[in-house]
Amino acid sequence: MTAQTTTAPAGSFAPLRQQLFAVLWVATVIGNTGSFIRDVASAWLMTDLSVSPAAVAMVQAAATLPVFLLAIPAGVLSDILDRRKFLIAIQGLLATVSICLMLLSAFGQQTVSSLIALTFLGGIGAALMGPTWQAIVPELVDKKDLKSAVALNSLGINIARAVGPALGGLILARLGAAVTYGADVISYVFVIAALLWWRRPEKADDALSERFPGAFRAGLRYARAHRELHVVLIRAFVFFLLASSVWALLPLVARKLLGGGAGFYGVLLGSVGLGAIGGAVFMPNLRTRLSPDGIVLMSAIVTAAVMVFLSFAPAQWAALIALLALGAAWIAALTTLSSIAQAILPNWVRGRSLAVYLTVFNGAMTAGSLAWGGIATLIGVPMTLIAGAGGLAVAGLAFHRLKLPKGDADLVPANHWPEPLTAAPVEYDRGPVLILIEYRIDASERQAFLDALTGLSADRRRDGAYDWGITEDAADPSLILEWFMVESWAEHLRQHRRVSKAAADLQEEVLRFHRGEQAPVVRHFLAIN
């Protein structure tokens, strides 16, 4: 969906007409509902085991730290493994974690250490799962429905956020922690069944398939050279670092400031989820009125206002209304940032680059949770909420000038590079490879050509080059060489497959300056081992 969409309601739910997406979407909602049931039990159980704000915040930190540490390796795995089988294995790991939580609670053996340790293991499962779930979306829907599918995924998470905490709080209050964790175990049955039902086509054997070390390096090179992704990452880090205070301290807000119990805490989180559902449904209309930058700024201001309001210990009914606004603001920012991240990434590196985004998101949440928990220990929960709100409002206004990318470039592979000529077959692991491209440029157009060629350098690096430069012939300045280096022959052949149509358009702009009778000469030089 874009800001120009006028038939948003129909388009918003169009992906659900595709059976495969609908089945996995419903299964994901059930699975996420179970996860929220588990999380509300763990967060509340920690308030029984320890009254320290730092200990309570550690539960949030233990859940997000593994995603910060492991999201990038997980993204690499999601790009090189069978994503369906990988997801099934992850669901088995998460089910095992919840079974352990259930048994420890049933026999009264749960401790602060065991709760944090198992929460950390659950975070490992989430770290492995996150990039993979997001990366499979283009496989489940038509290209025209991709943005709607991303928005529906966010909507599904927040349906689970609305139902899971309220249901978890109810089960926890009536039946105890063991039964609450058992409900989460049951949710994994539905997710695994849906994944087993999905008959994902097997990939044909490809001699150019990436291996983990090379894929890891390629993903990092891509992220390092992608300025538009940097903008999204900076905006996301600042927003979530400052907004994390309300999430880290919400169990204490519910218990100490609002005087509620486990059931009320679940209802409080459910209110956030309901607000997020409303915000997600209204998002298509909001996009017609505000730019992505405007939506993120609005989200920061609304979130800050709710944090200040909660610091004054309002009545419980008023807090529930305020958290509706918090949920709407949260989903507006989250959907906007994640949709832009999806839009600016090509499929070949989607999992790895989304993993970088998730690393930044969860790094911000982890660092924020630890920091705000420590600050609350020193100055109290109300003043910490006010400090976080002030920082969020100021940062929202300051970073509003760093504009988010439009995400409208055509990133489909152009496949317009001819196969390189070789005297004999080249071993795939041979390298490094030096590529030289010779241009003839008129002196009057030299600077314009150099500007255009420099603009192409980022694409060369993103698609596989680890070094790039421009040189000229000392005896003939009209002869200019562009050169770049790739780590192996296989990686250069992959580079041929990766060049997008948007990059091809930039290359056409560069070629417009070439004045030779024939196309620029391209040469490939291999290291002699």
Q: Is the pLDDT of residue 375 over 80?
A: yes
Give the pLDDT mean for 175-199.
90
Q: Is the pLDDT of residue 223 over 80?
A: yes
Q: Is the pLDDT of residue 367 over 80?
A: yes
What is the C-alpha to C-alpha distance for residues 189 and 186, in angstroms, rounded to an integer? 5
369/449 same-domain check: no
pLDDT of residue 11: 56
At residue 268, what is the residue type? L
Q: What number of CA atoms fall less than 13 Å from residue 82's CA on the CB side? A: 14
Indicate the pairing of strand 467-472 with strand 521-526.
unpaired
Helix then strand count (H, E) for the chain reads 18, 4
List the beta bridge partners of residue 482: 437, 470
190/298 same-domain check: yes
pLDDT band of 206, cuts 50, 70, 90 = low
254/373 same-domain check: yes
First and final C-alpha spacing in the chain: 52
Confirm whether 414 is domain-assigned: no
Supply the pTM of this predicted model: 0.75
Which of 434, 438, 436 minimizes the C-alpha distance to 479? 438
What is the C-alpha to C-alpha distance for residues 199 and 202, in angstroms, rounded to an integer? 9
- How many CB atoms are closer than 10 A to CB 429? 11
362/498 same-domain check: no
Of residues 434 and 172, the one with the higher pLDDT is 434
Give the pLDDT mean for 52-67.
74
Give the pLDDT mean for 26-31.
90
40/179 same-domain check: yes
Among residues of the chain, what percentage have pLDDT more than 70?
95
Among residues of the chain, what percentage have pLDDT more than 90?
31
State the DSSP code for 401. T
What is the C-alpha to C-alpha distance for residues 210 and 488, in angstroms, rounded to an integer? 12
**Containing H/E element for 442?**
none
pLDDT of residue 436: 95
pLDDT of residue 353: 85
- Given 379, 399, 419, which residue is the final one in a domain? 399
CATH number at residue 472: 3.30.70.100
Q: Which residues contact 482 (CB under 8 A, 6 or more apart)?
A: 436, 437, 439, 453, 468, 469, 470
Give the pLDDT mean for 6-27.
73
382/479 same-domain check: no
370/233 same-domain check: yes
CATH number at residue 195: 1.20.1250.20
Of residues 33 and 139, the one with the higher pLDDT is 33
363/490 same-domain check: no
Confirm whether 413 is domain-assigned: no
Give how many domains the chain has, as a whole number: 2
Instruction: Report how far apart, in Å, the C-alpha atoms of 474 and of each of 478, 481, 521 are.
Output: 9, 11, 18
Print the domain residue range for 29: 10-202+210-399
State the DSSP code for 413. B
pLDDT band of 51, cuts 50, 70, 90 = low
Quick one: residue 211, left, alpha or beta (phi over 0 = left, psi -120 to 50 = alpha)?
Answer: beta
What is the C-alpha to C-alpha distance for residues 291 and 403, in angstroms, rounded to an integer? 10
Provide the mean pLDDT of the chain: 85
Of residues 263 and 253, the one with the higher pLDDT is 253
Handedness of CA 93, 96, 100, 105 (dihedral sign): positive
The two structure tokens encoding residue 148: 């709607």
447/322 same-domain check: no
List the beta bridge partners of residue 348: none
Handedness of CA 96, 99, 103, 109 (dihedral sign): positive
What is the C-alpha to C-alpha distance for residues 161 and 334, in angstroms, rounded to an integer? 14
Which segment, 78-87, 123-132, 444-453, is predicted with the most confidence on average? 444-453
List, for residues 382-423, the tens digit of each pLDDT value: 999 999 999 999 999 999 989 999 877 878 888 888 888 888
List, for residues 295-315, the tens digit of each pLDDT value: 999 999 999 999 999 999 999
Q: Is the pLDDT of residue 97 over 50?
A: yes
pLDDT of residue 9: 41
pLDDT of residue 144: 72
Q: Is the pLDDT of residue 10 over 50?
A: no
Confirm whether 449 is domain-assigned: yes
